Amino acid sequence: MILKALEMQGFKSFPDKTVFKFGKGITSVVGPNGSGKSNISDAVRWVLGEQSTKSLRGARMEDVIFSGTSVRRAQGFAEVTLRLDNSDRVLDYDSDEVSVTRRYYRSGESEYIFNGENCRLRDINELFMDTGLGRDGYSIVSQGRVADLISSRSVKRREMLEEAAGISHFRYRREEANRRLEQAEENLIRLRDILAELESRVGPLKTQSEKAQKFLVLSEDKKELEIGLWLHTIEKSKNGLKEQEHKLSIASSQYESTELELDELEAKIEQVINKGRDITAEIENIRQNASSLEEEAARLDGRIAVENNTIEHNIESIERVRRDIE
């Protein structure tokens, strides 16, 4: 595995995108004090997941972002990409080149990208474990660290030696297993508590369960009885329906014959009405004849009275004439 390139943008004293290409052999970075040489090794450790702000020589993680100068504004984020040649497949990834990117924003958001895809810090740690580039790796020894290591606690030294021997992976797994074991034990304690709690509920629950079973048996009986009742009702209804259907057919035939009779009666009534109408017309005629006859009789009565008067007058005239003659 060979370091191919390091790209930085907005990281510490590198506001612009800066690319370091490393050839084979030794690369030396030379510069005056404070020119930013150590910032390069900080960038390598940072992109590989360094979480300690102290070892990055800052107070907060935000300090890795270019903080500006009198002539240049501060940056909003820092980004570092490390490119490695993996043609010897030291890293457990099937690609000749791998790249790791870490991005950190002032808002506190951070991203890890492995070969163009977002990933977790844990994935990066696991990938570089036992390669010397890991979290406790020996490949990056910053200024003053050698003396630090010699004088530091044996635990720290041991971590470095384990990484060099390629067994830190096992240590990591052991720690992971221990952590899980602790978690499992905690879960077990919680489960025991729950069990104890549940055991105290067993008595009342048993009574409730017996009641529930009894209820189930009784509700089954109730269901059967209800079904029986329904069947009986249906049978009864069927018989009633048959009877009503029979009555209906009789009533229908009666209705039909009554309707025929009604038709006949209506025809007769029609005839009678017509006849009545004729009779009424005849009566009207007779009444009109009678009234004209009455008028005629009255006229004749008048004439008779006039004639009688004339006769009486004539008789009186005859009498007078006779008396005159006599």
Instruction: Report the site for ligand ATP in 2-21 (rule: CB under 6 A).
Output: 12-13
Interface with ligand ATP, residue 34, by CB under 6 A: yes
Q: Decide whether 50 or 162 has the Cβ nearer to ligand ATP.
A: 50
- CA 36, 37, 39 angle in degrees (round to 5)? 65
3-state secondary structure the chain: CEEEEEEEECECCECCCEEEECCCCCCCCCCCCCCCHHHHHHHHHHHCCCCCCCCCCCCCHHHHECCCECCECCCCEEEEEEEEECCCCCCCCCCCEEEEEEEEECCCCEEEEECCEEECHHHHHHHHCCCCCCCCCCCCCCCCHHHHHHHCCHHHHHHHHHHHHCCHHHHHHHHHHHHHHHHHHHHHHHHHHHHHHHHHHHHHHHHHHHHHHHHHHHHHHHHHHHHHHHHHHHHHHHHHHHHHHHHHHHHHHHHHHHHHHHHHHHHHHHHHHHHHHHHHHHHHHHHHHHHHHHHHHHHHHHHHHHHHHHHHHHHHHHHHHHHHHC
Interface with ligand ATP, residue 33, by CB under 6 A: yes
Supply the minimum distance, in Å, between the C-beta of residue 102 and ligand ATP: 15
Residue window 128-167: x/- pattern of binding to ligand ATP, with contact defined by CB under 6 A: ---------------x------------------------
Interface with ligand ATP, residue 31, by CB under 6 A: yes
Supply the minimum distance, in Å, between the C-beta of residue 57 and ligand ATP: 7
Residue window 57-86: x/- pattern of binding to ligand ATP, with contact defined by CB under 6 A: ------x-xxx-------------------
Supply the minimum distance, in Å, between the C-beta of residue 58 and ligand ATP: 7
CB nearest ligand ATP: which residue?
A: 38
Supply the minimum distance, in Å, between the C-beta of residue 194 and ligand ATP: 51
Q: Decide whether 55 or 219 has the Cβ nearer to ligand ATP.
A: 55
Among 2, 21, 27, 35, binds ligand ATP (CB under 6 A): 35
Cβ neighbours, 10 Å, residue 11: 27
Interface with ligand ATP, residue 97, by CB under 6 A: no
Supply the minimum distance, in Å, between the C-beta of residue 114 and ligand ATP: 25
Supply the minimum distance, in Å, between the C-beta of residue 47 and ligand ATP: 16
Q: Decide whether 25 or 34 has the Cβ nearer to ligand ATP.
A: 34
Supply the minimum distance, in Å, between the C-beta of residue 25 and ligand ATP: 22
- Tell me which residues touch ligand ATP (CB under 6 A): 12-13, 31, 33-39, 63, 65-67, 143
